[in-house]
Amino acid sequence: MNQDIFRISIVLSVALLVGYLSDHMALTLFAGYLAYAYWESVLLSRLLKWMRRKRIANAPEAEGLVGAIAMQYEDLRDHHRKQKRRLASYLKRFKEATQALPDAIVVLGLNDEIEWANSKSGDYLGIRYPQDRGQRLINLFRHPALVSFMKEARGKNPGIEKSLELVSPNNQDMHLELRLISYGDSGKLLVARNVTTIFRISRMRTDFIANASHELRTPLTVISGYLESFEDDFTEEKDKQMRSKIRQMRVQAERMRRLIEDLLKLSTLETTESQSVREPVRIPDLLRSIVVEARAISGILKHDFQLELDEGLWIEGDRNQIYSAISNVIFNAVQHTAEHGCITLRWFNDSNGATLEVIDTGEGISAEHIPRLTERFYRVDRGRSREKGGTGLGLAIVKHILSRHQARLEIESTPGVGSTFRFCFPNALILHKGLIEARSLS
């Protein structure tokens, strides 16, 4: 800056002197100004040329303001170049790390279009990157479960994680677990993990239970049959003791049969495709027929059954499975409610969807047991459950059946007061009696 003032002062002084000597002050001052402006524009255009150059070259020789701009620009350029190099190395390391990951990772845009994918995405999902960039995931794989999984994930809060198990579209022998992770305002990350080994082990476990149960069923039927005929053989008074022993054996054989039946039911629920049967289920009629059976089980305990039913509310699902789930909970209420206790069944439609409540005034369950009730063989009082003929698998079966109907099980209980078992079926499964009847008439 100082140099510029010094230089312009010299030019002006020379112009003034020449003007004074030649008696053309204005002209020489104007000429001096022009010469200075020309020189500055030459320096500026050299600077501009240098700045526009892609290749790295030394800054043009210049002093004063133009020189200072050139130096500042050179510093900025060096800084920028270093930063670019650092970012490129980070990016390279990030790419190497994601390629080395054992999982497939796909970055999805606002409309679930592929923005980026690592190499495992090719092996697991058949995504070719970068060729498939911009393609929507559901256009690439027309798998119904994946389509509804992606649709469900839309509009959910960022950070919510969802998962889905799927056979790889690229390899029928590979089982994948897909996770959709939302981040930022609209970003989504699809992570696919190869769970083939876990899937095979769990399949082996359920197959083993199913096979063992099948194998046990036939000999048990034979044993039960013989025990029954033996009992009939000992009718004399002196055979009383023997008859009692045979009866005990029959009771235990019956318990084993129920256990085997429940194990088979569970393994069928686990191994078959979800929700294979969809038919209209008239829940009010179903409840009334279960109550007839429950009254028979209640017997001398004479429970009071109260029914509050929305007669027009039906649902779509597997009738046998729904029957099994509801009867399980109602029979449990009978088992755990004292003489003359009240069992109320409420069937209604509210903001939760179609809701069934089985409310008893029985012994209740303490809070610490409630989260574990749907575990296999979990019983609050093992001895009493056995005594009453329970297998400890009932609520595990109920949970499976409900999840196959996208329904929820809620349990509320107060020891000494009673329990409420609530099934919440989603709106999507609701059918209205009037509409069904009108449809079948037309």
Counting DSSP H helices and E strands in the chain, the numbers are: 13, 13
Rule CB under 6 A: which of 359-398 touch ligand ADP?
A: 360, 362-363, 365, 373, 379-381, 385, 390-395
Q: Where are the alpha helices (DSSP H) in 126-239?
A: 137-140, 144-153, 196-233
Taking the complex as a whole, the smallest distance from the CB of residue 221 to ligand ADP amounts, in Å, to 22
Name, in order, each residue with C-beta under 8 angstroms of 243's C-beta and a sequence gap of 6 or more. Answer: 231, 234, 235
Rule CB under 6 A: which of 141-200 touch ligand ADP?
A: none
User: Quick one: which of 97, 113, 93 has its CA closest to 190?
Assistant: 113
DSSP string, 217-228: HHHHHHHHHHHH
- Closer CB to ligand ADP, residue 182 or residue 361? 361
- Closer CB to ligand ADP, residue 231 or residue 360? 360
Taking the complex as a whole, the smallest distance from the CB of residue 219 to ligand ADP amounts, in Å, to 23
R_g over Cα of the chain: 41
- Closer CB to ligand ADP, residue 190 or residue 396? 396
**What is the distance between the alpha carbons of residues 150 and 166, in angstroms, rounded to a whole number?**
13
Name, in order, each residue with C-beta under 8 angstroms of 298's C-beta and a sequence gap of 6 or more. Answer: 334
- Closer CB to ligand ADP, residue 243 or residue 422? 422
- Closer CB to ligand ADP, residue 332 or residue 355? 332
Taking the complex as a whole, the smallest distance from the CB of residue 128 to ligand ADP amounts, in Å, to 49
Total residues at the site for ligand ADP (CB under 6 A)?
A: 20
| Residue 333 makes contact with ligand ADP by CB under 6 A | yes
- Closer CB to ligand ADP, residue 194 or residue 213? 213
- Widest CA span of the chain, in angstroms? 158
Near ligand ADP by CB under 6 A: residue from 28, 121, 213, 332: 332
State the virtual CA torsion across 2, 8, 11, 12 in degrees, nearest 10.
Answer: -120
Burial of 212 (0-12, 13-18, 19+ CB in 10 A): middle
Taking the complex as a whole, the smallest distance from the CB of residue 132 to ligand ADP amounts, in Å, to 48
Taking the complex as a whole, the smallest distance from the CB of residue 397 to ligand ADP amounts, in Å, to 8
Structure tokens at 65: 């303001």
Rule CB under 6 A: which of 243-262 touch ligand ADP?
A: none
Taking the complex as a whole, the smallest distance from the CB of residue 394 to ligand ADP amounts, in Å, to 3
**What is the distance between the alpha carbons of residues 236 and 233, in angstroms, rounded to a whole number?**
9
Taking the complex as a whole, the smallest distance from the CB of residue 339 to ligand ADP amounts, in Å, to 15
- ∠ CA 287-290-292 to the nearest 5 degrees? 115
CB of 223 within 8 A of CB of 216? Answer: no
Taking the complex as a whole, the smallest distance from the CB of residue 363 to ligand ADP amounts, in Å, to 5
| Residue 327 makes contact with ligand ADP by CB under 6 A | no
Taking the complex as a whole, the smallest distance from the CB of residue 240 to ligand ADP amounts, in Å, to 31
- Closer CB to ligand ADP, residue 41 or residue 414? 414
- Closer CB to ligand ADP, residue 27 or residue 417? 417
Rule CB under 6 A: which of 33-62 touch ligand ADP?
A: none
User: Quick one: which of 38, 36, 46, 40 has its CA closest to 73?
Assistant: 46
Near ligand ADP by CB under 6 A: residue from 121, 321, 327, 419: 419
Q: Where are the alpha helices (DSSP H) in 2-143?
A: 2-22, 25-52, 64-100, 120-125, 137-140
- Identify which range of 36-44, 181-189, 219-227, 331-339 contacts ligand ADP by CB under 6 A: 331-339
For 275: left if phi > 0, alpha if psi spans -120 to 50, otherwise beta; the answer is left
- Closer CB to ligand ADP, residue 259 or residue 431? 259
Q: Which residues bind ligand ADP (CB under 6 A)?
A: 328, 332-333, 336, 360, 362-363, 365, 373, 379-381, 385, 390-395, 419
